[in-house]
Amino acid sequence: MTTRLTKSQRRDLGAVPKSTGNPDGKGANGFMLDWYRSEPSGVTAKPGHQVLAELFTSMLILNARFKYKPSIGVVNYLYCIDLEWSLSLIGPDEWSDERKASFVGSCTLQQDMTWTITPSELLGGNNPVTDAVAEFYDSFSDRLDTDLTLEEILPFYVGHMPYYQRLYANALSRSMRSTVRMGSRASDSCRQWRNLLPKPEQILLSGAG
């Protein structure tokens, strides 16, 4: 039986062109199965500051390098060495001292396809990890400096992302779109959202407290 996508589903997939193969090793059937399994569940309306925190945290994590399929509720560990982000199932105590010094926090994928993080003790101090998060914050803030709506800048399809990052970025976008619409804020511009950002010296991380 042939699976047919709705118009909305085709838009979410970013109108991916037809191809005879997949450089990530995923056939069409495998991709569709992964796509459906990454469908957000339990999505609700949320306060504006929580929406921003979850978007910021999730994009920070999905910006990292990883080659495995994250599972809901499983703890992952985020690292940053020389501004190179990586996500791993190996905790900092199992790494070298250099790796421990690059530990950003423990990350968990939620059922609604957003991510939360428990920050490491390094964050907030005078070190490269804090500097890297601050730099990502500045980039995130700059991205919100537009009259486009939040939905219009969500990463439904980012071609340069590796397979799993691209898959979960799409799932995150579907979740965020529903959350914003449930909260009746779909027409708010990104600049309106940007006004809700905390001061730069504060850490905008979902699950931080």
Three-class HEC string of 176-205? HHHHHHHCCCCCCEHHHHHCCCCCCCCCCC
Strand 75-81 with 84-88, pairing? antiparallel
pLDDT in tens, 115-163: 999 999 999 899 999 999 999 999 999 999 999 999 999 999 888 999 9
**What pTM does this model have?**
0.84
What's the whole-number mean pLDDT along residues 110-118?
A: 96
Distance (Å, rounded) from C-alpha 124 to C-alpha 45?
Answer: 30
Cα 187 → chain centroid: 22
pLDDT in tens, 41-87: 999 999 999 999 999 999 999 999 999 999 999 999 999 998 899 99
Distance (Å, rounded) from C-alpha 58 to C-alpha 130?
Answer: 17
Q: How confident is the model at residue 204 (pLDDT cuts 50, 70, 90)?
A: confident
Q: pLDDT at position 208, please? A: 53
What is the 3-state composition of the chain as percent helix, strand, coil, each rounded to the nearest 5? 40, 15, 45
What's the whole-number mean pLDDT along residues 193-201?
A: 84
* Window from 4-18, 22-36, 169-183 with minimum mean pLDDT: 4-18
Q: Which helix (H) or strand (E) holds 135?
A: helix 128-143
Q: pLDDT at position 206, please? A: 78
Q: pLDDT at position 30, please? A: 76
Residue 198 above 70 pLDDT? yes
Distance (Å, rounded) from C-alpha 76 to C-alpha 89?
Answer: 5
- Between 96 and 45, name the one with better pLDDT: 45
What are the residues whose beta carbons fall under 8 Å from the beta carbon of 64, sequence distance 6 or more?
78, 79, 85, 86, 87, 165
Asked if 123 and 130 touch (Cβ cutoff 8 Å), the reply is: yes
Average pLDDT, the chain: 86
